Amino acid sequence: MDTAKRYDVEALRRDFPILTREVYGKPLVYLDNTATSQTPREVVEAIENMYFAHKANVHRGVFSVSQEATEMQEATREKVRAYINASSTREIIFTRGTTEAINLVASSFGSFLENGDEIILTVMEHHANIVPWQLLGNRKRVILRVVPVRPDGSLDMEAFRSLFNERTKLVSVSHVSNVLGTVNPIGEITAYSHSLGVPVLVDGAQAAPHMHIDVKALDVDFYAFSSHKMYGPTGVGVLYGREKWLEMMPPYQGGGEMISHVSFKKTTFAELPFKFEAGTPDFVDIAAFSAALEYVSRVGIDAIAAHEHELLEWTTAEMMKIPGMRIFGTSPGKCAVISFLMGRAHHYDTGMLLDKLGIAVRTGHHCAQPLMESLGIEGTVRASFGLYNTRAEAEAFIAALHRIAPMLDV
């Protein structure tokens, strides 16, 4: 590969012990990175270190261990701020994941909406960026307007612009489709939306592990992503929110930590970002997320993207040599996600046969049933690359597809 001299993938793989295991006597080829990435040893060690040396509740103790834990959590907040180029740590809210981050906005920002107001989504959205708005719509009769995609999986921007009217209050869109790999033109979306006074939320779960994120350059109002897709711990997510909106929005949940003063007559809330962080946070995994961000930064997000793109290009070309192969999502500049079907074979059967050969792929609707309906299918097989995948693994995947093709009568 062209990047071999500057990108030592074999050295990186040694940081991920799971990649040495076997499945059904075959080396594991892990191609489900879109769902969750594997975790390097140093992140697991950071978790262990927190439990064994620094476990004490944060922001509540005057004793040394509590103060250490607090400093480690807040150091992660600063790392996240720098990673996405936010203006202040006041704009960085820790959640349990992208799903909770979007629900927070739907509940809190959604309190400003009135019956008949409209939100623009796209047909490629993950259920986590559909259902919270439907729940809001059940309470307030908010109307969802949906942008279609073109045949190559790119967003129909003409249709997008046509959906705006005086009742449009928010645009909520994925940065990268978890099915199609499409990279949406967020800068263009925010520029047009803001010209009409409409704020924009971006689901960045599939973008943050694979590309440079600059919330100032993108000019987004909200940006959500998850640690577990970025080689970090599960159960940790981030919501970036423009400070002016977070100041205006009411708290999402009530409890300890997010208050300034409580009486039975009245409660006043804490300053940002703590206003949105009720209860004891997952300070152990938040602190360990710092190690994951350091790991990705050390490898280099641009180097990761280039490595994954080479795997995507080679694998896609080889897959298209297989009779009956259909790939969904072919837009230029897409991320390293390949959703496909082989002839008339059911996606589940394809996935099960691949598993017997050690190939771990995702099958189903990928929490994107409206997109599947628009494509006229029930689901797909999805292979997705991460920073540790190799050309040899891509070759094993292609060999496995050729081997199972006769079994599937494609």
Same domain, 210 and 90: yes
pTM for the full predicted model: 0.96
User: Taking 80 as the threshold, does the pLDDT of residue 237 lie above it?
Assistant: yes
Same domain, 267 and 312: no
User: Taking 70 as the threshold, does the pLDDT of residue 4 lie above it?
Assistant: no
Same domain, 205 and 108: yes
Same domain, 404 and 268: no
Residue 33, domain CATH? 3.90.1150.10
User: Taking 50 as the threshold, does the pLDDT of residue 5 lie above it?
Assistant: no
User: Taking 80 as the threshold, does the pLDDT of residue 3 lie above it?
Assistant: no
Domain boundary among 274, 297, 320: 297
Same domain, 124 and 267: yes
Q: How much is the average pLDDT of 49-60? A: 93
Same domain, 251 and 319: no
Same domain, 154 and 87: yes
Same domain, 26 and 105: no
Token readout for 291 is 């190690």
Residue 156, domain CATH? 3.40.640.10
Residue 220 lies in a domain: yes
Q: Are 293 and 304 within 8 A, CB to CB?
A: no
**Mean pLDDT across the chain, nearest whole number?**
96
d(CA 13, CA 187): 34
How many domains does the structure of the chain reveal?
A: 2
Residue 4 lies in a domain: no
Give how far Cα 229 sits from Cα of 12, 37, 38, 352, 385, Å. Answer: 17, 5, 8, 23, 11
Same domain, 212 and 114: yes
pLDDT digits (tens, 9 = 90+) for 198-234: 999 999 999 999 999 999 999 999 999 999 999 999 9
Domain boundary among 281, 297, 313: 297
Q: How much is the average pLDDT of 38-64? A: 94
d(CA 206, CA 133): 20
Q: How much is the average pLDDT of 384-391? A: 98
Same domain, 343 and 240: no
Choose between 409 and 276: higher pLDDT.
276
Q: What percent of the chain has pLDDT over 70?
A: 99
As annotated, the active-site residues are: 367
Residue 1 lies in a domain: no
Same domain, 319 and 234: no
Q: How much is the average pLDDT of 79-99? A: 98
Q: Can you point out the beta strands (E) in 47-183?
A: 92-95, 118-122, 143-147, 168-174
- 333's enclosing H/E stretch is none
Domain boundary among 297, 320, 353: 297
CB atoms under 10 Å from CB of 297, counted, come to 12
Same domain, 62 and 162: yes
Task: Please give the residue range of the domain that contains residue 60.
Answer: 44-297
pLDDT digits (tens, 9 = 90+) for 142-175: 999 999 999 999 999 999 999 999 999 999 999 9
pLDDT score recorded for residue 220: 98
d(CA 99, CA 127): 9
Nearest CA among 399, 394, 335 for reference residue 179: 335
- 200's enclosing H/E stretch is strand 200-203
Q: Which residues of 362-388 are buried (b: 16+ CB within 10 A; e: fewer)?
A: bbbbbbbebbbeebeeebbbbbbbbbb
pLDDT digits (tens, 9 = 90+) for 242-259: 999 999 999 999 888 888
DSSP strand pairing (267-269 vs 259-262): antiparallel
pLDDT digits (tens, 9 = 90+) for 296-325: 999 999 999 999 999 999 999 999 999 999
Residue 139 lies in a domain: yes
pLDDT score recorded for residue 268: 87
